[in-house]
Amino acid sequence: EFLCLYIGLEYTTVARNTLLVNTMPFWVLIGGHFLLGERINARKLGGLVLAFCGLAAVFSDGIVAGNTATLTGDLLSLGSGILWAMTSIVIKRSKLVETSAEKLLLYQLAGAAVVGLLVMPFAGPPIRAVTALPTLALLFQSFYIVAFTYVLWFWLLTRYPA
């Protein structure tokens, strides 16, 4: 998941990457249907169709333009979303569902750190100038996204259908 995310960002824009990684609920719905026995009703099917249309719209400009670098990054980003969904399904199908949300987050962070360290030598030149805006964005990601919303997500996974 993180390897696809990190490498995909080298070939596509952050905006496209964000949209494609966040197709995760789309894949959880499909995987939940086949692997967890969570049936797709008419409302879920409607949402699935809308999500697929949005996904097709995101991919359409890269295909029309023939930009293979963007398409490679898009596919890696999409792969990251699929693998993120599989992570959620694995949690739901295993004893991890009984693990605390904080411990699940720690496992995810440890995995991301290992992959990040392995990929770092191939990532290009390091950042030289540290400015306020990227620093604030990193702090926001660290404290709000990781420390709050990921814990909330893992807590929800232990209590509700995928």
How many structural domains is the chain composed of?
1
**HSE on the CB side for 107, CA within 13 Å?**
11
Write out the residue range of the structural domain in which residue 117 sits: 2-159
Kindly report the pTM of this predicted structure.
Answer: 0.77
- Residue reference for tokens 């966040």: 22
Identity of the amino acid at 108: Q
pLDDT tens for the chain, residues 1 to 162? 888 988 898 898 888 898 889 889 889 989 999 999 989 899 988 988 988 888 788 777 655 556 667 889 989 999 999 999 999 999 989 998 888 988 988 888 898 888 878 877 877 777 777 889 988 988 998 888 888 888 898 888 888 887
